[in-house]
């Protein structure tokens, strides 16, 4: 768990936060300021210590799946014929 400074051509100085999830897999996120990076790192550590941590990929995937399900249900209900 750490914050690393890095230079990019497009955005100048950025800060990468590297953390491990509860399953010990590495994940990272990039921020334009060191303060944002440190705040994110602290929030992630606190959530994990409380047991309230949710993977961003899981939350995003769940929302995407939910929205696709709604679209599919609407499509099915519109194409069914009434007898």
pLDDT tens for residues 35-69?
Answer: 999 999 998 888 888 887 777 666 555 555 566 66
Residue 32 has pLDDT above 70, yes or no: yes
Q: Are 26 and 18 in contact (CB under 8 A)?
A: yes
pLDDT tens for residues 71-82?
Answer: 666 665 666 555
Which structural domain, as residue segments, surrounds residue 45? Answer: 2-79
Count structural domains, the chain: 1
Q: Report the distance separating Cα 58 and Cα 79, nearest Å.
A: 31
Q: What percent of the chain has pLDDT over 90?
A: 36
């Amino acid at each position: 768990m750490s914050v690393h400074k890095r230079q990019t051509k497009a955005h100048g100085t950025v800060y990468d936060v590297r953390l491990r999830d509860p399953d010990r897999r590495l994940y990272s996120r990039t921020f334009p300021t060191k303060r944002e990076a440190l705040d994110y790192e602290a929030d992630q550590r606190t959530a994990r210590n409380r047991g309230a941590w949710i993977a961003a990929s899981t939350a995003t995937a769940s929302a995407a799946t939910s929205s696709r399900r709604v679209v599919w249900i609407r499509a099915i209900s519109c194409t069914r014929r009434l007898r």
